[in-house]
């Protein structure tokens, strides 16, 4: 029995079934390459779902974590620590506007904080409780906590856990007219992703986010931008939706290069809505994760990875668009965040065929394969994947 099969058997014995049984058991990595427990090598084109910003075992992150954990590993929210304050200052500076930060453990809890800010704003607008409605987009994903799930525009994920917090109204993503019709003075906030990740890497149409800003401002509703997947360089910019000047931005995934960390950044009066005792976390913003995040930000700046993500992402996009195969139907996305579109709903078979040939990708939708590699992915690695992609698609056709 291989080590992978052994670990899968042990997993099935002791782990809950919410993830199923993963098909691969990873052991170690370096850069954009990982190796499984049986020694097989893979080019990691999903990076833990857009998390491993600098790839695996990047020395800057490893050194920051090692140094910080040897000094101070945890404080809770009963004490200040330097890495947390510095990181909050850096994130506010990235937005270019004064703001205040709440640190959480992940994206769902960052969005949970934003949800509570929205509720507080609604009560401020109407103390009788008449302005608590949240508007979100069909096809969106904001997390699996009960509040974040309630604004996730995927009925299959929501319905098993009904009743969820209400009122929530869902509108078609990218349709500014539908959004304008839905938002009223009863609306507390609109939650949007600048690029829908779990929906299939769907960028907002030109002008949509700016329209959302105008619509929400006209009704004194908050605009919340979920940048959990899109933020920290994924699209070739620090933030994909900041040009719309949202009231609240949420971050996680790539923020700390693999360490657990989320952030909710609120501007203006939105940053003052949570009062002592309103919200909290034990582990969110711990000094080790904050030190890792500072190393990620420093490295992105020092190595010009925003430009790199733009340039290498463009090469990847052009290569995907030019794949000569009957199954290939184009691509979409931004920066180093792309979806290969398929002419048939065989994405799981493509994921399997890619893995068998040494590539890790993600079947995000039946007809779309998500690529969210480390920002350090090289042009040579892109070229290698594109060269092998037609054979992967042919194998997937045979397996489907």
Half-sphere exposure of 289 (CA within 13 A, CB side): 23
Eight-class DSSP state of 31: B
Backbone angles phi, psi at 80, to 5 degrees: -85, 145
Structure tokens at 151: 């604004």
Is 385 in the active site?
Answer: no
Question: Which among 106, 247, 253, 367 is annotated as catalytic?
Answer: 253
- Mutual angle of helices 59-69 and 287-302, in 10-degree steps: 150
Q: Helix or strand or coil: residue 33?
A: strand
- Mutual angle of helices 287-302 and 305-321, in 10-degree steps: 70
- The sign of the dihedral angle between the CA atoms of 65, 49, 197, 145 is negative
Question: Which among 44, 226, 242, 247 is annotated as catalytic?
Answer: 226
373: left (phi over 0), alpha (psi -120 to 50) or beta: beta
As a whole number of angstroms, the longest Cα–Cα distance in the chain is 64
- The sign of the dihedral angle between the CA atoms of 107, 150, 136, 113 is negative
Question: Which among 141, 170, 191, 385 is annotated as catalytic?
Answer: 141
- Mutual angle of helices 287-302 and 82-95, in 10-degree steps: 40
Report the first-to-last Cα separation within the chain, whole angstroms: 27
No. of helices (H) and no. of strands (E), the chain: 13, 17
Structure tokens at 246: 């949202």
Is 303 in the active site?
Answer: no
Is 226 in the active site?
Answer: yes
136: left (phi over 0), alpha (psi -120 to 50) or beta: beta
Residues labelled catalytic: 141, 226, 253
């Amino acid at each position: 029995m291989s080590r992978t099969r052994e670990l899968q058997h042990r997993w099935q014995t002791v782990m809950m079934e919410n993830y199923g049984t993963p098909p691969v058991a990873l052991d170690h990595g370096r850069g954009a390459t990982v190796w499984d427990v049986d020694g097989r090598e893979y080019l990691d084109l999903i990076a833990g779902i857009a998390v491993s910003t600098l790839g695996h075992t990047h020395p800057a992150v490893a050194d920051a974590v090692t140094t910080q954990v040897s000094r101070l590993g945890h404080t809770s929210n009963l004490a200040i620590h330097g890495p947390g304050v510095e990181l909050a200052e850096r994130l506010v500076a990235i937005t270019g506007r004064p703001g205040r930060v709440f640190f959480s453990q992940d994206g769902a809890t960052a969005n949970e904080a934003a949800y509570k800010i929205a509720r507080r704003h609604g009560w401020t607008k109407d103390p009788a409780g008449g302005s608590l409605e949240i508007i979100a987009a069909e096809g969106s994903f904001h997390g699996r906590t009960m509040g974040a799930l309630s604004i996730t525009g995927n009925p299959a994920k929501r319905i098993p856990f009904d009743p969820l917090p209400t009122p929530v109204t869902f509108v078609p993503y990218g349709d500014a007219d539908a959004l304008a019709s839905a938002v009223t003075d009863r609306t507390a906030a609109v939650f949007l992703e600048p690029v829908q990740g779990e929906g299939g890497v769907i960028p907002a149409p030109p002008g949509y986010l700016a329209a959302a800003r105008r619509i929400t401002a006209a009704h004194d509703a908050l605009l919340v931008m979920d940048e959990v997947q899109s933020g920290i360089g994924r699209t070739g910019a620090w933030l994909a939706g900041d040009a719309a000047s949202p009231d609240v931005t949420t971050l996680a995934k790539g923020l700390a290069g693999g360490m657990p960390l989320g952030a909710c950044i609120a501007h203006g009066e939105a940053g003052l809505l949570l009062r002592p005792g309103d919200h909290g976390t034990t582990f969110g913003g711990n000094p080790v994760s904050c030190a890792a995040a500072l190393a990620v930000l420093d490295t992105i700046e020092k190595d010009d990875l925003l430009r790199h993500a733009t340039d290498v992402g463009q090469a990847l996009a052009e290569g995907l668009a030019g794949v000569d195969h009957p199954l290939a139907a184009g691509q979409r996305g931004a920066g180093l965040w792309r979806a290969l579109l398929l002419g048939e709903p065989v994405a799981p078979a493509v994921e399997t065929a890619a893995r068998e040939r040494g590539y890790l990708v993600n079947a995000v939708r039946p007809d779309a394969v998500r690529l969210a590699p480390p920002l350090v992915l090289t042009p040579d690695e892109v070229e290698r994947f594109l060269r092998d992609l037609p054979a992967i698609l042919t194998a997937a056709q045979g397996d489907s």
